[in-house]
Amino acid sequence: MNIVIMGPPGAGKGTQAEFIKNKYQIPHISTGDMFREAVKKGTPMGKEAQKYMNEGKLVPDQVTIGIVEDRLAEADCQAGFLLDGFPRTIVQAQALDGVMEKLGRKIDAVINITVPDNILIQRMSGRVSCKECGKVYHLVFSPPAVEGKCDECSAELIQRSDDNAETAAKRLQVYNEQTSPLLDYYQDKGLLRNVDGDRDPKLVGSDIAASLDKA
- List residues binding Zn ion (CB under 5 A): 130, 132-133, 135, 150, 152-153, 155
Pairing, β 109-114 against β 192-196: parallel
Catalytic residue among 36, 123, 171, 193: 171
The residue from 3, 20, 39, 53 that contacts ligand AP5 (CB under 6 A) is 53
- Establish whether 193 is a catalytic residue: no
**In angstroms, what is the minimal distance from the CB of 199 to Zn ion?**
26
Interface with ligand AP5, residue 144, by CB under 6 A: no
Interface with ligand AP5, residue 205, by CB under 6 A: no
- Establish whether 170 is a catalytic residue: no
Catalytic residue among 21, 36, 123, 127: 127
Closest by CA position to 17, among listed 215, 180, 208, 152:
208
Interface with Mg ion, residue 10, by CB under 5 A: no
CA dihedral 60, 63, 67, 73 (to 10 degrees): 100
**In angstroms, what is the minimal distance from the CB of 153 to ligand AP5?**
17
Closest by CA position to 138, among listed 121, 153, 155, 154:
121
Interface with Mg ion, residue 56, by CB under 5 A: no
- Three-state SS string over 17-63 comes to HHHHHHHHCCCEEEHHHHHHHHHHHCCHHHHHHHHHHHCCCCCCHHH
Encoded amino acid at 162, one letter: D
Among residue numbers 98 through 137, which ones bind ligand AP5 (CB under 6 A)? 123-124, 126-127, 136-137
Residues 6+ apart with CB under 8 A from 142: 201
The C-alpha atoms of residue 125 and residue 174 are separated, in whole angstroms, by 18
The residues binding ligand AP5 (CB under 6 A) are: 7, 9-15, 31-32, 35, 52-53, 56-59, 64, 85-86, 88, 92, 123-124, 126-127, 136-138, 141-142, 162, 171, 197, 201, 204
